[in-house]
Structure 1
């Protein structure tokens, strides 16, 4: 888990500036995806090419069969998926930290300001504890990062099918080409166990998409209710 420590620290910072559903998404990403990937998946896959058995001893045939069937291993594909899907969230975190830094400087400036007769700009998006309020451009930025996460997640789910040509791991792959001069059967090690993790990671991807969609609607509804209460109070 050491290689994931930096990512987990960044996610902890994002969590403090997210909604309740955003915190749930962080839990799904870290506990059910990163932890499972780091703890068990890599041990099951291992060196898949050396574990593959083919009914031929032709030099290079196993390599050609593996390369054609798995342009990228499932574990590396999932690592790339997690890092890519997390990128919009990290961009949002950068904006939040920049806003907090600017508004903290503004607060220090206000404390040192002696002339109280002039109109002075006051902090708008954060409080003294460093907690941000989702409104204005920060709200737009937060919703945009949710939309990009949905698009990236769907792209990886669809891409997984197009890259491998199948959803579940087959027991045997028939290949012909390269150094395999005839139809060659190559047998995958522990296909059932691999299928469990493939289904699990796909389910987590779908759950991630659903959480982001629900969070967008929840934000929209809460802001509409807030405007209604505000307009009702002004009457």
Structure 2
């Protein structure tokens, strides 16, 4: 369930929104960034100061890196399927893995690593976004006194409200993906622990049933004979 929700958030709420809407917000931003000055190079430096990294390129790189760990899981699954198929042909139809695509064995660790990398990439890009834009509202007018500007000049940002909305949208979707990855990590670890405990409990039960001559020194002889009879009947 967690993986399906994560996939929906990435494909629908991130990739499609990026392709349909986000690119159009910053496509012509350079032409609409105006500074009240005629000094050569001042407008370029001010634009680079307030937008050191274009959010659309930053988000494109984030989507690429976040979806890349899933390729490890796909490659590992294909490798197990090929290995199982080869084993089946040489061992008279027997399968090496009961379910090659099931998250068990080495595939479990590969999938866990992919979840950690997904959450790590999203968290890293959130930190970069905070360092650059501080998650603040864009102002319509900003003051710029960066060299080579000789004095403080006023610069105007086009559609600041729209830009702010999409910046926060990037933050929210990244936070949702991180939360889903963390939930899935805890779910898989808990499931692994429960499975291990259940196997241990079953093993103890089997060992007890395979020892019919077990004698309790604190019990009477009639009780021990009754216990042995019960185990043999079972």
User: Per the shorter chain, which TM-score range?
Assistant: 0.7 to 0.9
Indicate whether 1:71 and 2:52 are aligned: yes
In the TM superposition, residue 125 of structure 1 has moved relative to its aligned partner by 6.0
Match of 1:159 among 110, 118, 128: 128
Structure exhibiting the larger radius of gyration computed from Cα positions: 2
Q: Count the aligned residue pairs.
A: 204
CA contact (8 A) 2:72 2:110 kept: no
Match of 1:126 in 2: 99
Measured against aligned partners, the alpha-carbon deviations of 1:187-210 in whole angstroms (never above 9, x if no partner) come to: 111010111111111000001110
Q: Which 5+ residue runs of structure 1 have no aligned equivalent? A: 1-19, 113-119
Match of 2:86 in 1: 105
In the TM superposition, residue 233 of structure 1 has moved relative to its aligned partner by 3.4
Q: Distance between the aligned counterparts of 1:163 and 1:123, measured in 2? A: 51
**SS, match of residue 29 in structure 1:** helix
Q: TM-score, normalised by structure 1?
A: 0.80
Matches within 5 A, 1:140-179: 140-164=109-133, 167-179=136-148
Q: Which 5+ residue runs of structure 2 have no aligned equivalent? A: 206-234
Q: CA RMSD in A?
A: 1.9
In the TM superposition, residue 52 of structure 1 has moved relative to its aligned partner by 0.8
**SS, match of residue 152 in structure 2:** strand
In the TM superposition, residue 166 of structure 1 has moved relative to its aligned partner by 5.1
**SS, match of residue 154 in structure 2:** strand
Match of 1:199 in 2: 168
**SS, match of residue 180 in structure 1:** coil
Moved over 6 A (4+): none
Indicate whether 1:92 and 2:73 are aligned: yes
Match of 1:229 in 2: 198
Measured against aligned partners, the alpha-carbon deviations of 1:5-27 in whole angstroms (never above 9, x if no partner) come to: xxxxxxxxxxxxxxx21121111
